[in-house]
Amino acid sequence: MAFVGNALPRRCGIATFTTDLELALRSSAGVAETAIIVMRDPGSVHDYPPSVRLGIDQDDPEQYRNAAKFINREGFDLVCLQHEFGIFGGEAGRLILDFIAALKVPLVTTLHTVLDRPSDDQREVTEAIVAASRRLVVMARKGRHILVETYRADPGKIDVIPHGIPDAPFVDTLGAKHRLGFSGRNVILTFGLISPNKGIETMIEAMPAIIARSPDALYVVMGATHPQLLREAGEAYRESLVRQVEALGLKDHVVFLNRFVDRPELLDHIAMCDLYVTPYLDEAQMTSGTLAYSHGLGRPVVSTPYWHAAELLEDGSGVLVPFGDPASLGRAVAGLLEDVSARLDMAKKAYAASRPMIWANTAKRYVQCFGAARRALPTSQLADVLPPEHLLTANCMLPAASARHLVDMCDDTGMFQHAVFSIPDRHHGYCIDDNARGLLLCCTPENGLDEPFAEAMSQRFAAFVQHAWNTDERRFRNFMGFSRQWLESVGSEDSHGRTLWALGTCARYASDSTRAAWAQRLFCEALESALSFTSPRAWAFTLLGLDHYCATCPQDRNADTRRGELGQRLERLLIATETRGWTWFEDRLTYDNARLCEALIRTGKATKINHFTEAGLRSLRWLIRVQTAPQGHFRPVGSMGFTRKRTTPRLFDQQPLEACATIAACVAANAIDPAAPWPDEARRAFAWFLGENDLAIALVDIESGSCRDGLHPDRANENRGAESVLSYLLGLADMHVLEGMTRSDTVSIGHSPEPSVCLDRDDA
């Protein structure tokens, strides 16, 4: 792959980013060779490393075309363009279009700036780049929004990948302060190329108020003047800052380090600061490498709310203050310098939240992006190689359903609960939860499974459910040992509700009429017990079962009445618990959360009770916000839960169950609210399975259909149990439902389509 942009030792943020990205990808699995094509600014000569293969003079149109010919000739598979208006020649950097026009390999463009109010020339250039790129990368959700709204970009080809950061340990400030000569001072740091838009004068103006509360405070401004500003105006801006310091009597409290530092020296200076400040003056700052680095090293941040900072710090790992407001800036900085405990908590939160952004993880996400770009043929080429009925599947690139691991996890009794890696773990036996999910999957029309296989497995799961029914207690048992002995007489309320859900689905969709009749009868027998339950999830699962049962048996007035009662309970719980900022049914989020929203949405749609529907949509919108990472990918609430007392959800361990439930809820929401971006949210949740997650690790093995049991802070759980594989396959089935609802959409979220599974095949 070839990277086109700036590179070190040129002094600019794009050069640092391109060099770091190339270095991270050079050692990534599946990458054979990398090279950088550098932009050369007028009058500059740099001693580039061997990774730089070619240069383009910024204002020479012929060299742009020659660079494209070089890439075509040398057999590169892909080009990653680092786009920033100031580094390319012509009006609004128009000369880069000559390069793109001559290119014969897929193009992925990382947009470092996305203007929401472009000039006519900037709009024209950006729209041309958007149209020519197979994939687009932005570093903030705001960039994605602007690309869609302002430049009419296809949302399906936009990836939000955060700015990479070095993988450095979390350390206190004492050692670095001693090495750099700042012992005994409370150090506030701003670093990067100096220019007027950085707002350094605002921070200097705030210093007297800070010193009044923290007399040992020291503001360190580290960085050379931006080369372009230096050419045009010399050191006039820096000199104005020095005069401001002198006028305010701050010589002992403000230090200017006028140099462009290498990475080791930079990391040492970040390590010694107690606070990092970015007082930028303009919100239209899509990304800041200096902010990403400081946040990634666990430094508390005080910043103005430019786009990147607003998203990165929304979890409470920093403090936002208004633009150009020295008083607010001073109060925030002084407060954190005084409160050591709050500062340390913020530092730890920043460090933990930034681990997914280390360069190794960022590189993995770029590799996935590049793979999608290479698989995504232009529409015109797709039409040439595929018949029309396959165009949708090719564009959506949903994996085929493989049941190989599902088969491995079953014996003639039913489905085992757990696995050690991919090997069924007989020690823990079986449970009705997983066998009910298995029945649900096999009865779902869009499951993508071979029909004879689905029929055979449906019968096996139904037999387990029937055996679990305790006629004396009018309840389902849950856990069974490998010896086929039940370990309890009554299972949990949730397992009972989940079984009712599976029975309702079987009653509606079973192709065998006798099995459908069995499911209807057992559903009716088991329904009454659910009315005494207190678990909201049991109510929700029962409502999902009633949604299917009542569609099959509309004459059953009792079932319809019970549906209304359970819907009212769930809605009343939401109304009683929700507050401003907390739109949920309980004081905490735990597991299978989105099923509560889905149950109200489906119940409201079927009964035409609009306030049920509105309550379901309201809670789902809130849940989606909670489950979206600052970088834009799906981040389910961890298995440790999330209470309203915490400012941010626990990040790990992340479970496949949550992605599956979110997909289903978004599909339900899309059926009644198609104008909202529910398809995008469902795709985001499904992409979590495929690697669009905090660690850029694919949870799913497409060929076997197995799914890892969760995502830990540093790795995936390699065990592949029943709940995980069923969550993935049910999520995939719902994605096919969504595909049928939105046939005009084009997305790219997975691998190329493959044939459906057959029992007598090794390859899915």
pLDDT in tens, 41-56: 887 888 999 999 999 9
Tens of pLDDT, residues 380-398: 333 333 333 333 333 346 8
**CATH superfamily to which 174-355 belongs:** Glycogen Phosphorylase B; (3.40.50.2000)
Question: Which of 251-265, 374-388, 612-626 is predicted with the least confidence, judged by mean pLDDT?
Answer: 374-388
* Contact criterion met (CB below 8 Å) for 448 and 756: yes
d(CA 620, CA 667): 12
Query: What is the C-alpha R_g of the chain?
Result: 29
3-state secondary structure of 238: helix
Instruction: Count CB neighbours of 457 within 10 A.
Output: 22
**pLDDT score of 735 more than 90:** yes
Cβ pair 200, 242 in contact under 8 A: no
Bridge partners of 107, per DSSP, are: 79
pLDDT at position 648, please?
67
User: Of 3.40.50.2000, 3.40.50.280, 3.40.980.10, 3.90.79.10, which CATH number belongs to 2-160?
Assistant: 3.40.50.2000
pLDDT recorded at residue 11:
83
The C-alpha atoms of residue 651 and residue 342 are separated, in whole angstroms, by 20
Q: Which amino acid is at 521?
A: R
Higher pLDDT, 228 or 370: 370
pLDDT at 433: 97
CA-to-CA dists, residue 570 to 534, 594, 622, 664, angstroms:
10, 13, 16, 18
The whole-chain average pLDDT of the chain stands at: 90
Output the CA torsion sign for 46, 47, 52, 57: positive
* 3-class secondary structure, 683: helix
Q: What is the pLDDT of residue 743?
A: 54
Beta bridge partners of 218: 187
When pLDDT is cut at 50, 70 and 90, the band that residue 275 belongs to is: very high
Q: Which of 49-53, 81-85, 678-682, 757-761 has the lowest mean pLDDT?
A: 757-761
**Which pLDDT band holds residue 742 (cuts at 50, 70, 90)?**
low
pLDDT tops 60 at residue 255: yes
Domain ranges of the chain: 2-160, 174-355, 380-741
Q: What percentage of the chain carries pLDDT values higher than 70?
A: 94
pLDDT at 757: 29
With 70 as the cut, is the pLDDT of residue 63 above it? yes
Which H or E run includes 710?
A: strand 710-711
> For domain 380-741, which CATH number applies: 1.10.8.60, 3.20.20.70, 1.50.10.10, 3.30.1300.10?
1.50.10.10
- 485-541 pLDDT tens trace: 999 999 999 999 999 999 999 999 998 999 999 999 999 999 999 999 999 999 999
Question: Which residue in this structure is represented by tokens 């108020």?
Answer: 209
**Each residue of 5-28: pLDDT tens digit?**
999 999 888 999 999 999 999 988
Domains 174-355 and 380-741 share a fold: no
Residue 390, pLDDT score: 30
The tokens of 78 are what?
Answer: 């892909």
- H helix intervals, 484-535: 493-509, 513-530
Strand partners, 81: 4, 109
Average confidence (pLDDT) over 301-312? 93
How many CB atoms lie under 10 A from the CB of residue 72? 14
